[in-house]
Structure 1
Amino acid sequence: WILTKFHSTSWLVIDSVTLFLVDLSALINIVTMYLVSKDKVRLLWYLQIIFLAFFPMIIIPYTDTWVLLSVSLILLGFVGISSHSFNLIYRILFSVMAGVATVITYYIKPSGIIPAIAFIIIGIVYLCNKPDKKRLLRAVCLLVFLFGSGATTFVLGQNIISNQKYVSIDKSLEIPSIHFVNMGMSGTTGAYNPHDALMMAKLPKKQDKIAYSKKMIRKRLKQRGLLGYISFLIRKQGYNTADGTFGWLGEGTFIFTKTPASNWKWWAQTFTYPVGKNVSVFRFISQLIWISLVGILFFGWKYHDLVSDGLRLSLIGGFLFLLIFEGGRSRYLIQFLPSIIILIPIVWQSSKETIAKILLATGLKKMEVSQNA
C-alpha cells in the first residue's frame, strides 16, 4: 500500500517510512513524559538521542519497529486517563486514543498490546485499594469508551483486511498460535525453528498443525523434565534480554556486504556493516548503554505509582510472553522499548539514591559531612 502511494518500489522508501515512525514514536514518548512529570522531559530527550544514535534498527522495516508508534500512543492514552490534571472529557478522549491504538497495535504485532493489558490490571488494583463510588463510576465510563473505540476500530480493520487487494490471503494456511508456543520450547534458546515452520507448511489442515504442535510440546516437556524446563526458561530469559544491539547482524542478509567505500558514508558503515572494522566497537558501546539502562530500572524498584507500576507490569508481561512463545533473541524486546524508555526517567532519582546507599554501605563512597556540622 505504501509503495503504491509513493509510486515507488525502492527499499529506501520503506526505510524512510520506518525512520519516520520510530522518530514519531520518540516524540510521542516526550509528550507522555510531559504529562507524567515536566521536570523529567529533558532527561528523556537526552536518553532517546543517545539510544537512537546506537539503534541501527531504526531503518529496518519490520513489525518490531513499525509497531513502536502505536505502542507509544497506547502509553500516552493510558497516562492521560490516569492523570488527575484533566477533566472527564479529556480523559475520555485519551481512552478513545488508547482503544484505537491498542487495536492498531494488535493488527501490526499482537504482543504489542501487553502494555494496554498491564495498565488495565494496575488500574483495577489501584481502584480496589481505594474504593470510591465516584471513582468507580468514572472508571466504568472510561472503560466503556476504551473498549467501545477498540471494538469499532477492530470491526473497521476486519473490513479493510477483507476488502484489500494488495496481498492475497489464504485463510486455510493460517498457522495456529500453539505453533509459536511449540517453537518457544525448541532448541536451546526457544528461537525460530526451521523444521517446525516447515511442518506447518506441509500439514494441510489446521487441526493437523495443532495436533503436531501439541505432540512436540509434550515430547519436549518430557525430555527436559520439570527442573530441566525451569533451567531452559532461565537461559532463554538471558537470550531474550541480554543483547544490547537487539540482534543487529545476528540474522538475515538485509545489508549489502561489500567493503564500505572511502566516502562520507564510510565512517558510519564501518560501525554497522557486517564487514565494518569497527562493528565490535558498536557492539561494545551498545551493550554498555543497555546494561546502564537495565541497571537504572533494577535499582529503581522502590519507586511506585500507578504509571510506573503499569510500565513495570508491561515489561513483566513482555518477558513472560517471550518465555512462552517464540523468542531467544533480544530483537523481540524492541516492541517494549517505549515502556522501558519512559520508565527510566521516572525511577531515575530513586535508582540514584539506592546506588548511593549501596556504595556507602560497601565503603566505595564516603559520606559527605557538612562543614557546619
Structure 2
Amino acid sequence: MKPSLIIISIALGIILGFKIIESPKRMIDRMMMVHLCLFVISAGIVVTVNRTFIQHQDFIYIDTKRAHPLTHFMAMGMHGNGGYYRPDGAMDDKIKSPVARNQANVRLIQDRFRNFNGLTNYGKFLVQKQINNTADGTFGWGQEGTFLQLNNPDNTKLNRSFIRKMFANQGTVQANENFEYHFIVQLAWCSTLIGLIGVVNLHSWKIQFLKYSVVGFMLFLLLFEGGRSRYVIQFLPIVLILTSVGSTRILMRIWRNN
C-alpha cells in the first residue's frame, strides 16, 4: 500500500479536531461519527487483509530489510526536477543494512539542501516542482518508452480508428508527440483545475476533508519523489469529486445570472 494513503487519515483527523474545537459540547455530529467509524473499519479491514495476504502468499519472497526508507524518496525529491533518479536507487541497493541505508539517505538530504544555498533557492525549486507536478494534463502519457504495446498493431482498420489515432503512434506504441491528443487532454485538465475554484468558499466538513486531502497530497509530492504529473493519478479521484462540485456551482451561478 502506498505510504501517501496516510494523508487521507491525517486530513480526516484535522477535520475532526476542528469539529471538536468548534462544538466541544456536541463533540461531533452523528453523521460524522458514522462516516468516521466506516472509514476506520474499512481502512482496518483493507490493511489487515493486505498484510495477511503478503505474509502468507508463496508467489514471491519479500525481504522487508531491502525496502527503501522514506528518506530515500525525500532525497530523490530534492534532485534535478524532483523525479526518479536511478543512482539513488543503486546506492540503496548496495547498502544491506536498513539502518545504514537510512543514515546514508539522511546525509544525502543534508548535502542536497546545502547545495541549494539557502531557503530562497529551495523555495524556487519547490515552486517549479509544483508546476511540474500539476501542469501536464496527460500525466506523462507516452514518456515511459515502448512498454505499452497494442493488440493487433498491424490491423489497418483499427489503426484508422479515432482511438488509435489519438492514443497510439503508428499502431505500435502510445502517442507521446501527438499534438491533437495533448491539446484535447490539456484542455480537459485546465477545465478540471478551473472547476476547483468553485469549492474555495465551501466550508462543509466533507468538502474541507477533500480539500485538505488534495493539499496534503501536493505537499507530499513536494517533499518526496515527484516532479511529474503522473504522480497526481493517485489522488485524481479526490480532485475529480471536488471539480464536479465546483463546476456545478460555477455553472449554476452563470445560469442564474443569465
Coarse TM-score class (shorter-chain normalised): 0.7 to 0.9
State the 1:228 CA deviation. 0.7
| TM-score, length basis structure 1 | 0.60
2:20–2:27 contact (8 Å) kept in structure 1: no
| Aligned equivalents of 1:114, 1:351: Cα separation in 2 | 28
| TM-score, length basis structure 2 | 0.84
Q: Are residues 210 and 278 of structure 1, via their aligned partners in 2, closer, same or farther at CA, if it must alter by over 3 Å?
A: closer
Match of residue 339 from structure 1: 238
Q: Structure 1 residue 172 and structure 2 residue 65: aligned?
A: yes
**Structure 2: runs of 5 or more not aligned:** none
Q: Are residues 252 and 122 of structure 1, via their aligned partners in 2, closer, same or farther at CA, if it must alter by over 3 Å?
A: farther
| Aligned equivalents of 1:237, 1:277: Cα separation in 2 | 22
- Choose which of 137, 143, 156 in structure 2 pairs with 1:262: 156
Q: Are residues 262 and 191 of structure 1, via their aligned partners in 2, closer, same or farther at CA, if it must alter by over 3 Å?
A: same
Which amino acid is 2:114 matched to? K
User: Structure 2 matches for 1:31-180, cutoff 5 A?
Assistant: 107=1, 109-133=2-26, 135=28, 143=36, 146-147=39-40, 150-151=43-44, 153-180=46-73
Match of residue 210 from structure 1: 102
1:122–1:306 contact (8 Å) kept in structure 2: yes
State the 1:222 CA deviation. 0.6
Which amino acid is 2:52 matched to? N
| Aligned equivalents of 2:192, 2:49: Cα separation in 1 | 39
Match of residue 229 from structure 2: 330
Q: State percent identity of aligned pairs.
A: 32
User: Structure 2 matches for 1:293-372, cutoff 5 A?
Assistant: 293-352=192-251
**Structure 1: runs of 5 or more not aligned:** 1-106, 357-366, 369-373
Superposed CA offset, 1:10-47 (max 9, x none): xxxxxxxxxxxxxxxxxxxxxxxxxxxxxxxxxxxxxx
Which structure's residues are more often helix, by fraction?
1
Higher relative contact order (CA 8 A, sep 6+): 2
1:127–1:136 contact (8 Å) kept in structure 2: no
Q: Structure 1 residue 240 and structure 2 residue 139: aligned?
A: no
User: Structure 2 matches for 1:175-194, cutoff 5 A?
Assistant: 175-187=68-80, 189-194=81-86
| Aligned equivalents of 1:194, 1:277: Cα separation in 2 | 22
| Aligned equivalents of 1:117, 1:203: Cα separation in 2 | 32
Paired residues in the alignment total 250
User: Structure 2 matches for 1:273-288, cutoff 5 A?
Assistant: 273-275=168-170, 279-288=178-187
State the 1:254 CA deviation. 1.6
